[in-house]
Structure 1
Amino acid sequence: MKILVAEDDLVSRRLLTTSLEQYGYSVLAFENGVDAWEAFNEEPQRIIISDWLMPRMDGLDLCRRVRSRPDTEYTYFILLTANAQGKDEYMEAMQAGIDDFLAKPMDRDAVWMRLRVAERILRYTKEISNLESMLPICSYCKKVRDDNNYWQQVESYITEQTGTSFSHSVCPTCYENTVKPQLEELSRED
């Protein structure tokens, strides 16, 4: 798994990168949020570790941009902080979409623990997404079950969910296997 790192302090960036690589991760490291954002746009990563305060774009703005992309899988965002922030700053960070915090100087064990949590949450997020994308359908009548445990025709369900209208016709296979024999039977009866 690749981890995107945004850290303006060269020593901190190298220490973090080395630690992550020793844990078996690939690392894309950048010295500011703008470069990290451009890299994320090219190839979204599932875990980001970003410094809070950086030139050009800080960690909160980077997180807000990541969260504004609806077409990407969930990204776990860890924010690095050197100073003891106050309650209001932490609330602002949480509202920006931050998942977790790491204090600087970084403790290798704390980094490892945060990454275990991140991987677990990402795994569960993927499992939930897979479950949400399943649509129960009756093997016999082909009705589908909605979230309220109500069974309805496929056409009704799709119309309700997407606003799509249906026009009915007969496909070539059904025409040959069903309609044509019925028409032939009717013509023999006359």
Structure 2
Amino acid sequence: MKVLVADDDPGSLLVARAAVERAGHECLAAADGDEAWKLFLAHRPDAVVTDRMMPGMDGLALCRAIRASETDLYTYIVLLTSQDSREDMLAGLEAGADDYVTKPLDPFVLRARLLVAVRVTTLHADLAHYRKVLSRQARTDPLTGLYNRLKLSEDLEQLHARSARYGEEYSVAMCDVDNFKSYNDIYGHQAGDLALRNVAAALLGQVRKSDGVYRFGGEEFLLVLPRQGIAEARVLLERALEAVRKLKIEHHGDPSGELRLSAGISMFGAGHAVDADMLLGEADTALYSAKAAGRNRVEAAW
């Protein structure tokens, strides 16, 4: 564990540092609150042991600053004080400290507090990890591994706001596997699931890192293409359709004898500053135009 010790008294600082290092932890030392704050920002220690009264930023101010800056990980704070009163203890806890130790510092007491700090920070780290895992799972389609509609909603909202602010264009493309119901009827749902995974991989293989590929639902996929107009999006989608054709997935329910894809494109940009929902609707309409025109093709909304 990485521990930051802050104390303007050289003797107390030496005792605290020795106790931390004897406990097997890495120690950072600061002679005042301002230096402690700089070290905290640079190293993000797991625990902070700070004197209450220091020049510059005092212990209470340091506690508040640490709590205000925290993200996923938690910093365990032990406040050192020579003022053993209920008011001082309460003030420290209200400022964000987890525990307090009275001066003169007893190395054994500090080591015991650090044992608690290890348990608490480990628990918070585990919780942060599981929150990230759950958040990722909530935004991922379990069948294809693509992002789902929740992630699409979040990403599209951010992209639309940024594009509108900076006058940038972007395109969306709705894709649908042709005659997929008959594919499931002929080959079964397990084969259908495998086909969708293969199509998803083919789409991912054609986009840039900045592009987004989402499973929109059923056999529908959505591509979000930042800084791409209709012409660029059409070129990308033609490649995507060709990538699906190259899979050569047998499909006797399609006139071609193989699995195919159709796509519809719409674009946000100068002269067409509609909202994101309108764009999705236009892409969907263009997709139906592609279906009506014989499938296995790309159509644009305008």
C-alpha distance in 2 between matches for 1:60 and 1:162: 42
Aligned length: 177
The change in CA–CA distance for 1:70 and 1:28 in structure 2 (over 3 A counts) is closer
Question: Displacement, 1:7?
Answer: 0.6
Alignment of 1:11-160 (within 5 A): 11-71=11-71, 73-87=73-87, 89-135=88-134, 136=137, 139-140=142-143, 154-156=148-150, 158-159=152-153
Q: Quote the Cα distance in structure 1 between the aligned partners of 2:241 and 2:86.
A: 71
The TM-score, its normalising length taken from structure 1, stands at 0.77
Q: What does residue 217 of structure 2 align with?
A: none
Q: Which runs of 5+ in 2 are unaligned?
A: 161-170, 176-202, 207-238, 249-253, 258-293, 296-302
Alpha-carbon spacing, 1:20–1:70, altered in 2? closer, same or farther (3 Å): closer
Cα gap change, 1:129 to 1:72, in 2 (>3 Å): closer
Q: Per the alignment, in what secondary structure is the counterpart of residue 24 of structure 2?
A: coil
Given residue 111 of structure 1, which amino acid in structure 2 is its aligned partner? L
Structure 1: gaps (5+ residues): 144-152
Give me the TM-score of the superposition, normalised by structure 2.
0.51
Q: Which has the larger radius of gyration?
A: 2
CA RMSD of aligned residues (A): 3.1
Aligned to 2:69, what secondary structure does the other structure show?
coil
Measured against aligned partners, the alpha-carbon deviations of 1:109-149 in whole angstroms (never above 9, x if no partner) come to 21111111101011110111111112335633779xxxxxx
Q: CA deviation at 1:167?
A: 2.9
